[in-house]
Amino acid sequence: MEALNDDLSILQALCTEQHIELDSLKLEKIVHYSQLLEEWNLRVNLISRKENAPVIIKHIFHSLLISSYHSFREDEKVLDLGTGGGLPGIPLSIAFPRTQFLLVDATGKKIAACKAMINALGIRNAIAMHIRAEDLKDGGFDTILSRQVAPFEKLCSYASRLLKPGGMLICLKGGNLEKEISQAIHSSKTYNGFPLKVEQHTISEVSTFFLDKKIVIAFG
């Protein structure tokens, strides 16, 4: 119970600092997800088991930070590509219950864990599916999210096919991305002109745990 209260206090303080408005019920459900994620991680490799930061910060709040750069709309169709343990899709689906989230991953055990957590949390606006990105139908999504370590150009190649016209790809990535972004822009003619523009937003000022982390937004 003490750990639960600590995580709740940490998350509430961070969200307040970054002007992310979440009521107490949403915060409590997100912390519950954090607990479930750690429990499932003992059985299925969903996140690193040698963390240098609390999961509530490094994974959960990290995911919620996307909402500082993108306003999730009612009935917006969002794809979480390579969701792993449900990141960033599950925290954001709790925060934005009127937005529709599809969480996909090519690893069946990870999707089984996501389905169990979505069910346990009573989330009705998120579905987890065991499927490869290559097998998804074209053009169905307004926004694509990804925390996976795939090269940015590869993520843009998926996005160019899966996004509706004018859609965007939002990635949580780390390190020096100049070369990756340059390659993606250079290859845009191959991928239906996507991306037209790319923005990088550093988040190092938010927490020392995010020193090399960036939110990268590619616009179609």
pLDDT digits (tens, 9 = 90+) for 36-88: 999 999 999 999 877 667 999 999 999 999 999 999 999 999 999 999 999 99
* pLDDT band, very low/low/confident/very high, at 103 (cuts 50, 70, 90): very high
* 198 contacts 185 by C-beta, under 8 angstroms: yes
Q: How far apart are CA 104 and CA 82, in angstroms?
A: 6
2 pLDDT above the threshold of 80: no
**Which DSSP letter does residue 21 get?**
-
Distance, CA of 128 to CA of 139 (rounded, Å): 19
Domains and CATH numbers, the chain: 2-219 (3.40.50.150)
Region of 22 (left: φ > 0; alpha: ψ -120 to 50; beta: rest) is beta
Asked whether the predicted pLDDT for residue 7 surpasses 80, the reply is: yes
Give this prediction's pTM.
0.96
